[in-house]
Chains A and B, each alone.
Chain A
Amino acid sequence: MAESRHLGDIILKVDHISLSFGGVNALADISFQVRKGEILAIIGPNGAGKSSMLNVINGVYHPQKGTVTYKGETRHHMPPHRAAELGIGRTFQNIALFKGMSVLDNIKTGRSLKIKSNFLMNALWFGPARREELEHRQKVEEIIDFLRLEDIRRTPVGMLPYGLQKRVELGRALAAEPELLLLDEPMAGMNIEEKQAMCRFALDVNDEFGTTVVLIEHDMGVVMDISDRVVVLDYGKKIADGTPDEVRQNPEVINAYLGVSH
């Protein structure tokens, strides 16, 4: 797969990132790069530091050492809202939807940054406020169609089954039209059909919009199928970085990760 795809320049570079919580070293001197248009998987056993890595990339965690370079802008710490402004989208390992809101409103909220009208215009529902809401509704409906959420757009997300909630969360991230999409275990806890659908969505987004995807996944079948490259973490250290085939044959990886049954 990797050979047949054309990958662009480096869009994201993490350099020598170290992050610890008290005595726990969640990440130790991690460096890797992501090219534009690439699908990169981060794998590793539980507690390896995968989620922490995503949290560093979009500024939720502050690393003690190292830098993140995104689209040429190097920062020691990137504030989360700045990451959003620069086009980094994100889903969470534990669903982080807005529970009290409908599917439609959750996805609309994903576009908040793109809506310019201020509260006065909103309160009066005049001119730009109305026009903007309608324009964005159009975009949101495209996402709803794409993710096949038409029948549940009015449903409060708290009432949806787990698999659909994950899908809505992807929708919310896509609503911002991100250039880099960080997915934290998007398929965890799903049945095989839901997983296939989710894989399809990730591949389509990557294919159609050229969105770069960094995803964390435990299902090795999925990882081997859809990713161009794999970074393997273990106890906060990077132990491998390469194509799925290279990684599969790496003895250290077999030892640390694939060896243990999941």
Chain B
Amino acid sequence: MFYRETGQYKTNYGADEQIFPIRQDRIGVMIILAFAYLAVPFIGDDYWFSAILIPFLILSLAAIGLNLLTGYAGQLSLGSAGFMAVGAFAAYNFMLRIEGMPFLLGFILAGLSAAAVGIVFGLPSLRVKGFYLAAATLASQFFIEWVLTKFPWFTNNSASGVITAQKMVLFGYAFDTPMSRYLLTLVIVTLLALAAKNLVRTRTGRDWMAIRDMDVAAEVIGIPMLKTKLLAFAISSFYLGVAGALWAYCYLGTVEPQAFELTRSMQLLFMIIIGGMGTIVGAFFGAAFIVLLPIFLNLFTSTIFAGQVDPGMLSHLEQLVFGGMIIFFLIVEPLGLARLWQLGKQKLRLWPFPH
């Protein structure tokens, strides 16, 4: 009854081509945004901002980036954390070496640098597909890590390889509290998520899905293979680069290349698989699953078994349950949480009538 399109007759195509064509979806997004912008800053505490919400938002952004490339354009990548590293270190160097560089411009340049590197490492995609492409992107992961550790210039000759993010100041306002950083991250992630949604529902996204689903047919339609694939690499890497910069500036504060290891790339891949390949909302579901579930599990086990079981044992147990749930999800719903969400909405559409 509550989630239904009936009665929402669209009298022109403009109404049907909106970013969220169904009214309930529009309202839902509004409510979530209002909650995130107006309520969370008041009810959240520093722990929630710094340890949960900020990493959740940044990982969602990174997962969107990877999903554009892998979920939409069909190019499997194992090197996404490498592009995050490029973003983080590019932002650092731009702000370090250019006097008075505004940090937002630094973030944009970080994204563009990652995009440029992404294009270079996307070149093999013109020749190879699937596992071979995955291997090539894996090479990019190691190569980027290697370059950042090998050449001290990138870390400004820091002996430990650790960089400390510069202060973020905008019109005299310093983003130095967890809450202000949360809001900054939220604004950037909101804007880029909406842009991604627009990309995938217009020509750019359709061209990506076309080469993903049937490349010969796409070519025969006139979709340029080279340009379309490289654009996917560029935009995906841009998102990952901005996410990397945020990871350094809004989340960690100090960062070393090891923060962007292969494990991170795999984590992002898990997120889009669990959340839902080829969906934007799935990136948020996947990030929530990966970031929040371990915390809930921890809370759960520590309240239930508190004092009775050895804590080391508990953390192993948590990991076991976590791994088990990932496998369970992949078997029960290979299309991810976004698919479950969609099915739920379809049920609601018919509710309370069974058919």
Q: Does A113 contact B (CB under 8 A)?
A: yes
- Bound CA span A131–B344, Å: 33
Cβ–Cβ contact A112 & B223, under 8 A: yes
**Contact residues of B: prevailing secondary structure:** helix
Shortest C-beta distance, B345 to chain A (Å), equals 14
- Looking across the interface, which residue of chain A has its beta carbon closest to that of B198? A125
Q: Is the interface of A mostly helix, strand, loop or mixed?
A: helix
- Asked if B217 is an interface residue, CB under 8 A from chain A, the answer is yes
Q: Does A101 contact B (CB under 8 A)?
A: yes
A98 touches B203 (CB 8 A): no
Residues of B close to A109: CB separation below 8 A: 206-207, 209-210, 218, 221, 223
Judge if B303 is at the interface, Cβ distance under 8 Å.
no
Q: A112 to chain B: which residues have CB within 8 Å?
A: 203, 206-207, 210, 221-223
A105 near B206 with CB under 8 A, answer yes
Which single residue of chain A is at the shortest CB-CB distance from B217?
A96
A124 sits at the interface (CB 8 A): yes
> Which of A132-140, A212-220, A227-235 forms part of the interface with chain B?
A132-140
Chain A's interface size range is 35 or more
Which of B12-20, B88-96, B251-259 lies at the interface with chain A?
B12-20
Closest B residue to A169 by beta carbon equals B217
Cβ-based interface call for B224 (8 A): yes
Structural contact, B213 and A80, CB atoms closer than 8 A: no
CA distance A123 to B278 in the complex (A): 16
B187 within 8 A of A: no
A60, B222: Cβ atoms closer than 8 Å: no
B218 proximity list for chain A (CB < 8 A) = 98, 109
Is the CB of A42 closer than 8 A to any CB of chain B? no
Q: When chains A and B are docked, how far (Å) is the Cα of A100 from the Cα of B214?
A: 10
Cβ contact within 8 Å between B220 and A119: no
B231 at the interface (CB under 8 A from A): yes
B347 within 8 A of A: no
Does B6 have its Cβ within 8 Å of any Cβ on chain A? no
B17-49 toward A: CB 8 Å interface, digit per residue (1/0)? Answer: 101000000000000000000000000000000
Residue A186 CB within 8 A of the other chain: no
| Known contacts A85-B222, A90-B220, A98-B213; is-contact A123 B199 (Cβ 8 Å) | yes
Pairwise interchain contact B214-A96, C-beta atoms closer than 8 A: yes
Contact A129/B210 with A60-B216, A97-B217 known, Cβ cut-off 8 Å: no
Which residues of A sit under 8 angstroms from B13, Cβ to Cβ? 134, 137-138, 141
Q: Is the CB of A110 within 8 A of B221?
A: yes
Separation of A141 and B16 alpha carbons in the complex (Å): 12
Whether the pair A133, B202 counts as a contact (CB closer than 8 A) is: yes
Q: Smallest CB–CB gap between B187 and chain A, Å? A: 16
Q: In the complex, A134 Cα to B203 Cα: how many Å?
A: 12
| B195 CB within 8 Å of chain A | yes
Interface flags for A134-156 (1: CB within 8 Å of B; 0: not) read 10011001000000000000000
Collect the chain A residues with CB atoms within 8 Å of residue B19's CB.
Answer: 125
Selected A-B contacts with CB under 8 Å, 24 pairs: A80-B220, A81-B224, A85-B222, A96-B214, A96-B217, A98-B213, A98-B214, A98-B217, A100-B212, A101-B209, A112-B203, A112-B207, A115-B203, A117-B202, A119-B204, A122-B204, A124-B195, A125-B202, A129-B202, A133-B202, A133-B203, A137-B16, A137-B17, A176-B221
Q: Which B residues are within 8 Å of any A CB, using their own CB? A: 13-14, 16-17, 19, 195-196, 198-199, 202-207, 209-210, 212-214, 216-224, 231, 235, 278
Closest 6 CB pairs of A and B: A84-B222, A98-B213, A96-B217, A122-B202, A123-B195, A113-B222
A112-B203, A133-B203 are known; give 9 further A-B pairs, CB within 8 A: A81-B219, A81-B223, A96-B217, A98-B213, A100-B212, A105-B206, A109-B206, A124-B198, A133-B17
